[in-house]
């Protein structure tokens, strides 16, 4: 009887490992933290979300105004539509 592994045989590579490797390479976009449960945490998170949205909107508006002032622009003239 053979004791130990034989030289010619190798373990078959499972397709699950390959699939897991591909899934790890393509990470999903979005938040990766747990939403708050307590009232103070919920209030703070909602305020942070609202402030972030306002800041982003302001920055985008400034970018549109800066880009649409020139002659050759790619962006729409949304800055004058206020």
Contact 32, 47 (CB under 8 A): no
- C-alpha–C-alpha distance, residues 63 and 73, integer Å: 12
Q: For 30-71, write each residue's pLDDT tens digit.
A: 778 888 899 999 999 999 999 999 999 999 999 888 877 766
- C-alpha–C-alpha distance, residues 53 and 59, integer Å: 10
Query: Residue 56 has what pLDDT?
Result: 96
Q: For 2-29, write each residue's pLDDT tens digit.
A: 677 666 666 665 567 777 777 777 777 7
Q: What is the pTM of this model?
A: 0.45
Instruction: Name the nearest CA neighbour of 69 among 78, 82, 59.
Output: 78
The tokens describing 53, both together, are 């949205």
Query: Residue 25 has what pLDDT?
Result: 75
The tokens describing 60, both together, are 């985008």
């Amino acid at each position: 009887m053979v004791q130990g592994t034989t030289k010619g045989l190798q373990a078959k590579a499972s397709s699950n490992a390959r699939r897991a490797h591909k899934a790890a390479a393509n990470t999903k976009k979005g938040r990766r933290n747990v939403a708050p449960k307590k009232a103070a945490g919920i209030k703070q998170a909602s305020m942070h979300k609202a402030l972030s949205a306002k800041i982003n909107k302001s920055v985008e508006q400034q970018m549109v105004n800066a880009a649409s002032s020139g002659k050759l622009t790619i962006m729409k003239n949304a800055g004058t539509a206020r």
